[in-house]
Structure 1
Amino acid sequence: MSATVPLRLVLIGFGPVGARFAEELVPAVAAGTIELTIVGAESGPPYNRVRIAEYAVGRAERDDLDLVDVDALTTAGVAIRTDTPALRLDRSARVVVLQDGTRLPYDRVVLATGARARVPHLDGLERIAAAASTSDGDAGSEDSTTVDPDGALTAGVQVLRDLDDADALRSVVAAGGRVIVLGAGVLGVELALMLAGAAAVPTLAHFGPAPMPRHLDRGAAWVVSSSLGAAGVQVVPHTRAEAIVTQTGPDGVRRFHALVSSDGRSVEGDVLVLSCGVEARIDLATRAGLRTGGGILVDEGLHSWSDPAVYAIGDCAHIADPLAHRHDMSVPGGPSGLIGPGWRQAEWLARAFVAEVDG
């Protein structure tokens, strides 16, 4: 590409992986060989999600989670659009359409949309329905009302994925509230232990006889379970969660009161934190007609199987060989769910773009 015509890159997603990608491109942006626009759905700068539980229990402050110098990015010439979700990817026109109607033309677009917490089906648990526009202001298009997959849950029930989640839990912890954690994977166990070390009263409810069954053998799992109890965590095994019980307060709002298992047992608490795994955010990719599996399907070069101008990195990227699996109904594998591989993907892809513009 000519040095006088910068490569127009649009990065959708300003989490830890997107931030690393942007940092790697700063010299090229400052040199004028790459024009980078970042689109982020959250209102503030990117932060370290790995430490989100520490912030939620009061062991870290907001500034401790900072990942990138946003001023350095903007000084270099990076355009940053936060609090403005991408609504549509028009691949034929090579334009990203934002929720506010802004249209961003691109030569390449990188999806770093990450993952959202998985919310299990529990009787009594509701999501807030919201009007979600599927249009970009074009004539003849219509809006539809749908359930926002990231919308608020029944009061007192939450996940722990972003700062809003952490702020909600932080207030309960500070008040010495009873916190039930549903799910005993690595994150659930970690959160329960942190809660025990704070002012909260934690309960860890999980399916099966012992925690972390995917990571530990039976003996090691029992050691972890004993350690949880010794730390002050009430462990409730063999919990096949079936429903929640709510109570209506004086303000007329239904709030969580208890978690009910399939055998009729109930555990009361002030808040229920769902730690039941994550799923890739593929909504934008699906609307754009990109092929997906456990995430957005990309090859080893991180190109989308469906469009060589579209890339994916991090928790939304499912790397698989298109030659071997293009005709498979179900593609094996999926996103790693770990920050390290996402950072390496971001660094590698940024360097590939720099090499492209440098000729």
Structure 2
Amino acid sequence: MSRVVVAGAGLAGHEVVRRLLADPAFDGTITWHAGEPGHPYNRVLLTDLLAGRHAPSAIELPTLTDPRLIYRNTQLRSIAKADFDHLVIATGAEAVIPPVRGNTVALRTLADVRTILAELNADGNLDETARRDTRSRGEANQDTGSGIAQTDRPPLAGARGETNGETGSGATPTGGVPLFGGRARSGARGEATREAGSGSGMAQLGRSVLAGLGGRRHAATRRVAVVGGGPLGVETACALASRGIRVELLHRGPHVLSRWLDAESGALLAGSLAQAGITVHCDTDVSAITGGIWPTADLVILACGAQPRVGLARAAGLPVGRGILVDSSGRSLGDERIFAVGDCAQSVDRPSGALAALDDARRAAFSIVNGFSPLPAAPPPLRLRTYGIPGADVAVMGRPRPEASIQFTDQRRRTRKVLVLDGDVPVAAALVGDVGAAAALARAIARPTAPAPQSPAALLTSGAGRGAGGFDGT
């Protein structure tokens, strides 16, 4: 019987566990070290909470039920002390913290979202807002459909719950704090310091905070600076701007999304952001601005990248670079029993993002059961969530480059489309302002050997103006 240990309960770790339990050929047990209080959730959707699109319960990952699963609401502290046949490290990454002083929050966790919402709440008192707005627990149960309050729900129904190494009955792990209860402050490394709240359910209090923000126009007078012009920074700025909050977006690169877009595409995007109340500052060294303080901001949100968590692997003597070094199948270069998946992993030409993490998990689970790794999926596309900001939609497939490309630009409509060809085969594309062709382009790029139904240039106009259709990028 195979003994599998999984460290980390983010998107990649959850997907490994889900796939193993769903595979009829898996005959082992899984010990799952979560490493973060509360129910596992989809970190990719944190900006949806800032935009008021969802309550926190809506981004929770599906509950996994199986007697072969042991859930521990603790971090795996040492590989040497773990008992396993296979170990999957899915510890993710932590926010990069530039030398910025003042009222700062690093956006990486649900607790960070809670801190930001507290800062933007007009009356500044989340607990009092919760007491005024929270409905009865029975009403909340009907809304969530779970039958029990969110903070009372087991982290993994049917699993053997263990907290701090002690076997429990499957109840919510002790030590976990309702993530939208009480107060939180940004720590020196962007990690929130949590204090016990009023005991209200997470979903209940989350709804009251979101409703409070959405209904108070004077919250829009707050001034927020977002540090980072990558996908997370742009999405964060758009989420806040959709609420009417004035945002200044600071980016050290020459233009926003400079790793994904060319200069002309970046300039068009910046123009659309400006019309929505987002002022873009590029070529900006944050640490050089008045000693690290941005003078026009009441709150500074750090969304300027992440550093893979490699401490567990380094302590075990596994090879690490910026991330945990793995081969093309995701196995550690130092121990073939160990896999690294998601943001903590590093290999040649490995893509980043949620879809890449899911593919890492798919291949790791397959390898554990079958002994060999399937081929990786096509590089995942990038699709920004821009929360209705006109002209800010972006979709990128592959790594667009200026040579051998077809380009269409409409300055009046603030749209730009770039298609990169290898001969007459589409290999990459970038769309700004109009992403209606994204689904057709993604299919053509993912299956380069399939016969194209139309000329490559015509792909750029397919679905124009209709949104992304079936495009499922992240």
The one-letter code of the counterpart of 1:115 is A
The one-letter code of the counterpart of 2:110 is L
Q: Give 1:234 deviation, angstroms.
A: 2.5
Q: Counterpart of 1:190?
A: 235
- Structure 2: 5+ residue stretches without partners: 123-218, 373-474
Q: What is the distance in 1 between the residues matched to 2:365 and 2:257?
A: 35
Q: What is the distance in 2 between the residues matched to 1:19 and 1:166?
A: 21
The one-letter code of the counterpart of 1:202 is V
Q: What is the distance in 2 between the residues matched to 1:60 and 1:67?
A: 14
Q: What is the distance in 1 between the residues matched to 2:316 and 2:359?
A: 26
Secondary structure, in 3 states, of the residue corresponding to 1:88? coil
Query: Pairwise mapping of residues 203-222 of structure 1 onto structure 2 (< 5 A)?
Result: 203-222=248-267
Q: What is the distance in 1 between the residues matched to 2:329 and 2:281?
A: 45
Q: What is the distance in 2 between the residues matched to 1:269 and 1:159?
A: 15
Contact preservation (8 Å) 1:55, 1:170:
no
Contact preservation (8 Å) 1:298, 1:305:
yes
Percentage identity across paired residues of the two chains:
31
Q: 1:178 to 1:34 in 2, by over 3 A?
A: same
Q: Counterpart of 1:22?
A: 17
Q: Give 1:44 deviation, angstroms.
A: 1.4
The structure 1 residue matched to 2:93, chosen from 115, 123, 131, is 115
Q: Give 1:7 deviation, angstroms.
A: 0.6
TM-score, with normalisation over the residues of structure 1?
0.70
Q: 1:172 to 1:199 in 2, by over 3 A?
A: farther
The one-letter code of the counterpart of 1:60 is H
Query: Pairwise mapping of residues 122-141 of structure 1 onto structure 2 (< 5 A)?
Result: 122=100, 125=101
Q: What is the distance in 2 between the residues matched to 1:43 and 1:109?
A: 21
Q: What is the distance in 2 between the residues matched to 1:298 and 1:214?
A: 23
Contact preservation (8 Å) 1:57, 1:173:
no
The one-letter code of the counterpart of 2:357 is G
Q: What is the distance in 1 between the residues matched to 2:250 and 2:28?
A: 49
Q: What is the distance in 1 between the residues matched to 2:254 and 2:371?
A: 53
More strand by share: 1
Query: Pairwise mapping of residues 262-273 of structure 1 onto structure 2 (< 5 A)?
Result: 266-273=294-301
2:156 matched to 1:172? no
2:69 matched to 1:78? yes
Cα deviations by residue, 1:258-290 (Å, 9 ceiling, x for unpaired): 954xxxxx4322211112111211011111111
Query: Pairwise mapping of residues 302-321 of structure 1 onto structure 2 (< 5 A)?
Result: 302-320=330-348
Q: 1:350 to 1:119 in 2, by over 3 A?
A: same
Q: 1:236 to 1:339 in 2, by over 3 A?
A: same
Q: Counterpart of 1:351?
A: 366
Q: What is the distance in 2 between the residues matched to 1:69 and 1:113?
A: 19
2:78 matched to 1:88? yes
Secondary structure, in 3 states, of the residue corresponding to 1:43? coil
* Structure ranking higher on relative contact order (CA contacts 8 Å, 6+ apart): 1
Q: What is the distance in 2 between the residues matched to 1:184 and 1:87?
A: 34
- Structure 1: 5+ residue stretches without partners: 1-5, 97-104, 126-153, 246-257, 261-265, 321-332
TM-score, with normalisation over the residues of structure 2?
0.54
Q: 1:219 to 1:27 in 2, by over 3 A?
A: closer
2:57 matched to 1:63? yes
Q: What is the distance in 2 between the residues matched to 1:24 and 1:32?
A: 9
Contact preservation (8 Å) 1:57, 1:170:
no
Q: 1:27 to 1:214 in 2, by over 3 A?
A: closer
Q: What is the distance in 2 between the residues matched to 1:221 and 1:202?
A: 18
Q: 1:235 to 1:36 in 2, by over 3 A?
A: same
2:158 matched to 1:158? no
Q: 1:35 to 1:27 in 2, by over 3 A?
A: same
Q: Give 1:220 deviation, angstroms.
A: 1.2
Query: Pairwise mapping of residues 5-44 of structure 1 onto structure 2 (< 5 A)?
Result: 6-27=1-22, 33-44=27-38
Moved over 3 A (4+): none
Q: 1:273 to 1:78 in 2, by over 3 A?
A: same
2:357 matched to 1:342? yes
Contact preservation (8 Å) 1:48, 1:67:
yes
Contact preservation (8 Å) 2:26, 2:369:
no
